[in-house]
A and B are shown apart, each in its own frame.
Chain A
Amino acid sequence: MTTTTAVRDDLAVPTRKTGFRTLLGKLARDPWAVASSTTIVVFVLAAVFADQLTGITGNDPYTYHQDLLDAKGQPTGWGGGIGADHWFGVEPLTGRDLFAIVVYGARTSLFIGISATVLSVLIGTIVGITSGYFGGWYDRIVSRGVDVMFGFPTLVFLIALMAIIPADVPRPPFIALVIGLFGWPGISRIVRGQALALRERNFVVASKAMGARSWRIVLGQVLPNVGATIIVVTSIIIPGMIAAEAALSFLGVGVTPPTPSWGRTIGDAVLWVRTSPMYLVFPGAALFLITLAFNLFGDSLRDALDPRTARR
């Protein structure tokens, strides 16, 4: 065996690229990622600074302005009463400020959407990673359980559940809890599949052979490699969670008045759609935009993290 210089190119190490910075770079070069993340940031800021934002015109989502309505309860003025004081006009029948309703609605939507997602991802990751990695009877039981969850007519069940919870339970956290509790099986399945594959990977076996304990392998070897998937899944299920809350509220079994909610406002606005279309347009557009932004961002993130899809 001779060592020659002509083919010694396997010893040259390329220049350093770190994962996170590469990822940011990729995202910054993707116009969809930039646009969607900007939208998300705007919505989050609006939700966080709702008080200050509505304070500019001195409005809140609860005060009635009957003086701005005509005899039939329609807002007077162009576009449902759009003006310097009421940027999105006012609500028919009550005259409440629509801008305030939409901005505070963002707070409700994002709070429920994000906390439900966190709960789902947490449960899904723990269940998925442990059942995939440890396998055996534990995995069999958990997988059956996930099958049962998939067999659940979730929306029907949620609606039914909403009917019977006592009125004094605060709705937004309860909705977040329930949606979150029903949202994890999909995540768990994905994470389990990955953990199952990782279990057979050489570096995990090597770690075991070196004498690492199970929890150390799960946290140190498996979890970091599922991380990218979890991030992508998170960004993709947030819009689903937001939509679930909006759907419940739209059906009248979600967030109760007077707490603002896009879904409920849309449900109310349907009745006014021919006379006061703006009443529907603003909350509808807000819901559509934030959902679209999260979906687009999730796509970009997946493309940036998964070199296989990026090539497509």
Chain B
Amino acid sequence: MSQGDHAEAVLAVSALRIAFARQAGPADLAPPAVDLVSFEVERGRVLALVGESGSGKSATAMSILGLLPGSAEVSGSVRLEGRELIGADAAHLRRVRGGRIGTIFQEPMSAFTPAYRIGWQIAEAIRAHDPRRPRGQVRARTLELLASVGLRDPERVARAYPHELSGGQLQRAMIAMAISCDPVVLIADEPTTALDVTVQAGILELLRGLRATRGTAILLITHDMGVVADLADDVVVMRRGTVVETGPVQQIFSAPAHEYTRELLAAVPTLATLQTSQRDAEEEAAPLDETLAAEVRDAVIAYGRRGRGGGVVAVSGASFRIPRGRTFGLVGESGSGKSTLGRAFAGLLPLRSGSIEVAGIDLAAASASRMRALRRSLGYVFQDPASSINPRTLVGDAVTEPLRLHTSASSVERRARAAELLDAVHLPRTTIDRFPHELSGGQRQRVAIARAIALNPTLLIADEPTSALDVSVQARVLELLAELQSELGFACLFISHDLAVVQALADEVGVMRRGEVVEIGPADRVLTSPEHPYTRRLLAAAPVADPVAQSARRELWLALDGEDPEVAA
């Protein structure tokens, strides 16, 4: 919203170019990672630098602070309040870092030095720019900062070591540290990527508050269009080191000029508009004539010691059924027990009580041979493409591992099947003799899917299969899953934290929170007019890639959050 009045550019980047030296030496520069990037960040406004991995957005942010490694060659101009930062002397850069520009990083868990208390680290930042300030004042200021970022017990947080706090608390403390010297610019590098949606919503609200009350200019680096829609005033879209499009947020979302921006937006899975009024519970009876692929009844799973109440209960009493050929989406935040339940489906974790039946076989009661038969009818796809395939095996061998385990297929037959499977997941047949590290993340996930469907499973368990991928890659992997399901007719247990992804794929949805399934129902019902307050809050917290719709959702979230007694990041 360019309100027309004096737009004051605090930070001006122009014709920025960054190139990283290859191993051989400074003479041998790779093609620039960032090329001729220009933008301006204005006081009291949020500029979002958007792009997928490899777009150069983080390198751009780090170059502003002069924090790129020595192998980087930076040229162009970065002016902060009219003063050039590129080539500036070390003392000036140090005054700028933490003094005029505060920074928030992606992983709050690893961004604090583990050996020192939070309070000490914030005090260190204050004293770095004001060494003469008396101890008592520094301490008071630290507590004041911690309170100002919405931490309930500043004293306790100040005394805590990083490993004693949650991700949300740490990110708030990180923001407190970043604003400790009243900077004019705040660089937020993927500030919420590592956090749960409900926590993310709180952090975004906090940043919005800083912009409004302190007039801080914010440079937001993100890959998430929802976050952009929620917070940004202006947007710079980057791709492979260059700016493809710049403009106000409404314009970027409603009338994207560049084709890449359009593709990026199209790839973002959309959540249907949330209905604020509760709908009557309509005919919700699931069609009972369908045969079941899997059913879980009152499953209780606990880690640690057995015995009376021993160990940590991860899942307490989950019940749902998955009909053949349908997809059941299991949604929840980290620690909700959704992945634990997924593992129990694959027989990787024992049930403490209750039962899980897959393809008519009861997991708890199955004999060893029945168990093997059951595992034949299961496919499993994991989150992290980097570790889902053994790095020491060729793709062809990895894909046909189930055949080696469960059939007597000869190596020739296995190779033939591997080629078929690669065709099925739209990978070139030459991939068969590749090692996993030669493939991209999306390709590896395709290989993992190929392996999971190798024996035509009854049930495919997909545990966050796309959350480590870029949106455009994610979109195509989801497409592939849907296509394979309609071809092969397997049932799918789809586990995800991303409501929009679940909505795109699932027929039915179960929402988990702290080991309990709080709500179950058809996907379009649960995700549009939820009944349980937690589901409502979860949905409201998830940002959508549309600034207008998002501001409405935000209002709703604020209203819901206010009524929830246990909001604490």
Asked if the two chains touch in their complex, CB atoms less than 8 Å apart, one says yes
Binding site for B on A (CB under 8 A): 1-4, 6-11, 13-14, 16-19, 201-212, 216, 221, 224-225, 227, 311
- Report which of A4, A8, A13, A208 forms a contact with B348, defined as CB distance below 8 A: A208
Q: Which residue of B lies closest to A203 (CB)?
A: B390
- For residue A133, give the distance in angstroms from its CB to the closest CB of chain B: 14
Instruction: Return B31 CB to nearest CB of chain A, in Å.
Output: 16
Contact B382–A206 (Cβ < 8 Å):
yes
Residues of B within 8 A of A206 (CB): 380, 382, 388, 448, 451
Cβ contact within 8 Å between B406 and A211: yes
Pick the contact of A203 from B371, B388, B476 — CB < 8 Å? B388
Q: Pick from A2, A209, A227, A311: contact of B380, CB below 8 A.
A: A209
Contact among B263, B376, B440, B504 for A6, CB-based, below 8 A:
B263
Q: How far is the CB of A208 from chain B (nearest CB, A)?
A: 6
A1-B475 in contact (CB<8A):
yes
Q: Is the CB of A211 within 8 A of B372?
A: yes
Q: A17-B438, A224-B393 are in contact. List 4 more A-B contacts (CB 8 A).
A: A1-B475, A9-B440, A11-B427, A211-B375
**Is the CB–CB distance between A1 and B378 below 8 Å?**
no
Q: Quick one: closest A residue to B390, CB to CB?
A: A203
Q: In the complex the two chains form, is B443's CB within 8 Å of A225's CB? A: no
Would A205 and B382 count as touching, CB distance under 8 A? yes
Question: Does B387 have its Cβ within 8 Å of any Cβ on chain A?
Answer: yes
Inside 8 A of B259's CB, which chain A residues have their CB?
6
Give the interface segment out of B89-97, B226-234, B330-338, B428-436.
Answer: B428-436
C-alpha spacing A9/B476, complex, angstroms = 12
Output the least CB separation between A152 and chain B (Å).
32
CB contact between A2 and one of B263, B388, B443, B451 (< 8 Å): that residue: B263
The interface residues of chain B lying within 8 Å CB-to-CB of A16 are 433-434, 438
Return 7 A-B CB contacts under 8 Å, by A number: A7-B473, A10-B440, A13-B439, A19-B435, A206-B388, A211-B375, A212-B405
**Nearest Cβ on chain A to B224's Cβ, whole angstroms:** 17
User: Is there an interface contact between A210 and B401, defined as CB atoms closer than 8 Å?
Assistant: yes
B388 A225 Cβ-Cβ under 8 A:
no
* Residues of B426-475 contacting chain A, CB below 8 A: 426-428, 430-431, 433-435, 438-443, 448, 451, 472-473, 475
Q: A11-B428, A207-B401, A211-B375 are in contact. Are A202 and B387 (CB under 8 A)?
A: yes
B11 interface residue per 8 A CB criterion: no
In the complex, the answer to whether A225 meets B260 with C-beta atoms within 8 Å is no
Tell me if B555 counts as interface (CB < 8 A to partner A): no
Q: Is the interface of B mostly helix, strand, loop or mixed?
A: helix
A205, B390: Cα distance in complex, Å = 11
Known pairs A10-B473, A210-B375, A211-B405; A1 contacts B263 (CB<8 A): no
Produce 1/0 per residue, B165-191, CB < 8 A to A.
Answer: 000000000000000000000000000
The number of residue pairs between A and B whose CB atoms lie closer than 8 Å in the complex comes to 109
B392 within 8 A of A: yes
The answer to whether residues A224 and B392 also contact, given A7-B263, A16-B433, A210-B375 and a CB cut-off of 8 A, is yes
* Residue B389, interface by CB 8 Å: yes
Docked-complex contact B380 and A1, CB < 8 angstroms: no
Q: Are B438 and A13 in contact (CB under 8 A)?
A: yes
B476 and A3 form a contact (CB under 8 A): yes
A20–chain B nearest beta-carbon distance, Å: 11
Complex CA–CA separation, A298 to B471 (angstroms): 42
A191 to chain B, nearest CB (A): 16
CA distance A222 to B390 in the complex (A): 9
- CB nearest neighbor in A for B372: A211
Chain B: which residue is nearest A2 at the CB level? B266
Assembled-state Cα–Cα distance A225/B392 (Å): 7
The answer to whether B194 has its CB under 8 Å from any CB of chain A is no
Cα distance A3–B435 in the bound complex, in angstroms: 26
**1/0 contact string of B389-431 vs chain A (CB within 8 Å):** 1111100001001100110000000000000000000111011
A234 to B200, CA, bound (A): 48
A227-B392 in contact given A2-B263, A2-B266, A212-B405 (Cβ < 8 Å): yes
B contact residues around A18 at 8 Å (CB) = 435
A211-B376 in contact (CB<8A): yes
Say how far B356's CB is from chain A's closest CB, in angstroms: 13
Give the distance to chain A from B437, nearest Cβ to Cβ, in Å: 9
Most chain A Cβ neighbours within 10 Å, of B346, B347, B478: B346
Query: Which chain A residues lie closer than 8 Å to B479 at the CB level?
Result: 1, 3
Chain A, Cβ-Cβ closest to B239: A7
Residue B524 interfacial (CB < 8 Å): no
Is B267 located at the chain interface by the 8 A CB criterion?
yes
Interchain CA distance A209-B451 in the complex, whole Å: 12
Separation in Å of the B225 CB from the closest CB of chain A?
A: 14
Q: When A3-B476, A209-B378 are in contact, do A203 and B389 touch as well, CB less than 8 Å?
A: yes
Of A4, A6, A10, A201, most B-chain CB atoms within 10 Å? A10
Considering only residues 365-384 of chain B, those with a C-beta below 8 Å from chain A are 371-372, 375-376, 378, 380, 382-384
Min C-beta distance of B423 to chain A, whole Å? 13
B107 to chain A, nearest CB (A): 18
Q: Which 10 A-B pairs have the closest CB atoms?
A: A211-B375, A10-B442, A202-B382, A224-B392, A209-B346, A203-B390, A202-B388, A202-B387, A7-B472, A201-B387
CA distance A3 to B343 in the complex (A): 32
Task: Tell me, rounded to whole Å, the shortest Cβ–Cβ distance linking A299 to chain B.
Answer: 17
Residues of A within 8 A of B473 (CB): 7, 10
Residues of A within 8 A of B267 (CB): 1-2, 7
Which residues of chain B have C-beta atoms less than 8 A from A204's C-beta?
A: 390
> Contact between A209 and B431 (Cβ–Cβ < 8 Å)?
no
State in angstroms the CA–CA spacing of A77 and B90 once bound together. 66
Residues of A within 8 A of B346 (CB): 209
User: How far, in Å, is B245 (CB) from chain A's closest CB?
Assistant: 14
Q: How far is the CB of A294 from chain B (nearest CB, A)?
A: 25
For residue B293, give the distance in angstroms from its CB to the closest CB of chain A. 16
CB atoms of B384 and A202 under 8 A apart: yes
* Contact partners of A208 in chain B: CB under 8 A: 348
A4/B434 contact (C-beta < 8 A), A13-B428, A210-B380 known? no
For the complex, give the distance between the alpha carbons of A16 and B479 in Å: 28
